[in-house]
A and B are shown apart, each in its own frame.
Chain A
Amino acid sequence: GENVEQHPSTLSVQEGDSAVIKCTYSDSASNYFPWYKQELGKGPQLIIDIRSNVGEKKDQRIAVTLNKTAKHFSLHITETQPEDSAVYFCAASIPKNTGFQKLVFGTGTRLLVSP
């Protein structure tokens, strides 16, 4: 199948805490995993991505980890700030036998950071 499961659907944290969002994919051929942040009234914006040949990637307060054996990947946000409040989507890119890719999205996590 071509599913991406994302948990939790909502996440509330206090400012300064860490937040972790987890995704599981079904197709072992998936080779690219982007994360998007969607703020109210805006479209999703790419915040970090990782390729299947890398186990971890960091960008300031944001990091993504990938476990290919377990077929799951996670977004980690440290020292959360109120402006981190948004909906976060994970996605997995699956190569097809046509030579093209298909991007499948998770169902989203609403993160609320309280001051």
Chain B
Amino acid sequence: KAGVTQTPRYLIKTRGQQVTLSCSPISGHRSVSWYQQTPGQGLQFLFEYFSETQRNKGNFPGRFSGRQFSNSRSEMNVSTLELGDSALYLCASSLAGLFSRVTNEKLFFGSGTQLSVL
């Protein structure tokens, strides 16, 4: 079974630009959640999508948005990039999602997209 695939692996952008990251979950998984990983803040939850609907959102500004398609693939968009947006962006897939009544739902992470904002 193929794992979680994130593209691209690396991105370099300049301040003010916008960027779109892609995540293909494990086949059969309907939940995709996104995390921002930085050395100082660790893993911070951005949002989660399940069956094309955003079920929950972390404490990030509206410049961060996402969507999920009918095949469960998800994209994350960041508009008006700032230097502080430089980070590793990880997506994780699961069957039913963290935000469910299943108390031990397992997350499977992709290798991430390393975004550098200059």
A interface residues with partner B (beta carbon < 8 Å): 31-32, 34, 36, 41-46, 49, 51, 89, 93, 95-96, 98-103, 105-108
Contacts and interface: CB of A to CB of B under 8 A. Distances in A.
Contacts of B109: 36, 43-45
B111 A32 contact: no
A105 B43 contact: yes
A49 B106 contact: yes
B107 interface: yes
B77 interface: no
B55 interface: yes
Given A43-B111, A44-B90, A51 B106 contact: no
Contacts of B56: 100, 102
Contacts, number: 62
Interface residues of B, number: 26
Contacts of A31: 103
A24 B55 CA distance: 27
Contacts of B101: 99-100
A44 B6 CA distance: 13
B64 interface: no
A31 B99 CA distance: 13
Contacts of A49: 104, 106
A34 B105 CA distance: 10
A101 B56 CA distance: 10
13 contacts: A34-B107, A43-B109, A43-B110, A43-B111, A43-B112, A44-B109, A46-B106, A46-B108, A93-B98, A100-B55, A100-B99, A101-B99, A107-B42
Given A102-B45, A108-B42, A32 B99 contact: no
B45 A103 contact: yes
A101 B6 CA distance: 24
